């Protein structure tokens, strides 16, 4: 698998990533107390197919649904079910799309109704850590620089960095090399190069970094059952610098949030 993509391939991955971005934006306006995650899954599957793509997770390694939906103490890989979300929950939604032979893979953790201050801080700090990681994804830096930047930020809040799950290269397959842990040492690991495309995805726990897996063989949850947050973007290295391929703009539009956090990582305006 080529680690470095051509400009044409990067545009195809951008197209797939934008299908996921739009799907997350559509879901953002549906998430409220009382809604089930199975309902969200059905909406997402139809939406992705209506946009000329295939759900990227459905059937991948045998996963049974379109979305990974992981509320509260679930970290990732939760399976949509018929339990309603409740006021005060958070819910991480990870979504993949396959279009023109290339994958997009992108995640956001949503608030459900009114959420406690300490949980809101976990969401804010986790998303900030993603951008600290993205800053390091450029020519001249290495895998360990990304992990170090993420880890340093979240551990200053005494949060735990999940060790067992990592960011990854992205392209014709969902998970390519290199693996990019959300912890690490500066200057260590594989050097980044022009044309690399990755999914960076800090999974950050309010308490211990340790996790367990449910008997369903999929769901990862925190060992202390405290909440966990997950944000994921797709990024290419273009002209030596990080170029965002995915966007939270559709989510922000749906939620009425003003943000310019992505601007410094985007040379191309979004085709809406």
Minimum distance between the CB of residue 178 and Mg ion, rounded to whole angstroms? Answer: 13
Rank residues 26 and 200 by Cβ distance to Mg ion and give the closer one. Answer: 200
β-pairing verdict for 90-99 and 54-55: antiparallel
Rank residues 94 and 243 by Cβ distance to Mg ion and give the closer one. Answer: 94
Q: Which of residues 229-248 bind Mg ion (CB under 5 A)?
A: 232
Q: Which of residues 143-162 bind Mg ion (CB under 5 A)?
A: none
Q: Which of residues 65-104 bind Mg ion (CB under 5 A)?
A: 94
CA distance 228 to 242: 26
- Under rule CB under 5 A, residue 105 binds Mg ion: yes
Question: From the list 79, 199, 203, 221, which residue makes contact with Mg ion (rule: CB under 5 A)?
Answer: 199
Q: Which of residues 162-181 bind Mg ion (CB under 5 A)?
A: none
Helices (H), the chain: 7-28, 37-50, 117-135, 143-155, 249-255
Stretch that binds Mg ion, among 5-13, 127-135, 154-162, 226-234 (CB under 5 A): 226-234
CA distance 74 to 260: 29
Q: For residue 166, give the nearest of 209, 196, 195 by alpha carbon.
A: 209
3-state SS class at 265: helix
Residues in contact with Mg ion by CB under 5 A are: 94, 105, 107, 199, 201, 232
């Amino acid at each position: 698998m080529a680690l470095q993509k051509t400009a044409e391939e990067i545009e195809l991955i951008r197209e797939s990533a934008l299908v996921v971005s739009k799907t997350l934006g559509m879901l953002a306006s549906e998430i409220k107390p009382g809604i089930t995650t199975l309902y969200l899954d059905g909406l997402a599957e139809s939406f992705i197919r209506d946009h000329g793509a295939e759900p990227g997770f459905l059937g991948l390694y045998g996963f049974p649904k379109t979305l990974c939906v992981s509320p509260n103490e679930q970290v990732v890989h939760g399976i949509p079910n018929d339990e309603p979300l409740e006021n005060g929950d958070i819910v991480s939604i990870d979504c993949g799309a396959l279009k023109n032979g290339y994958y997009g893979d992108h995640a956001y953790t949503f608030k459900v109704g009114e959420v406690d201050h300490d949980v809101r801080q976990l969401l804010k700090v986790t998303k900030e850590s993603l951008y600290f990681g993205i800053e390091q994804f450029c020519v001249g830096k290495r895998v360990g620089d990304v992990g170090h930047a993420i880890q340093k930020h979240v551990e200053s809040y005494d949060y735990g960095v999940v060790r067992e799950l990592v960011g990854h290269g992205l392209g014709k397959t969902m998970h390519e090399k290199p693996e990019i842990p959300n912890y690490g040492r500066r200057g260590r690991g594989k050097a980044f190069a022009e044309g690399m495309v990755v999914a960076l995805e800090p999974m950050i726990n309010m308490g211990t970094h340790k996790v367990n897996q449910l008997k369903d063989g999929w769901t990862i949850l925190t060992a202390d059952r405290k909440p966990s947050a997950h944000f994921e973007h797709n990024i290419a290295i273009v002209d030596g610098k990080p170029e965002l391929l995915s966007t939270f703009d559709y989510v922000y539009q749906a939620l009425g949030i003003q943000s310019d956090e992505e601007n410094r990582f985007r040379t191309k305006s979004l085709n809406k």
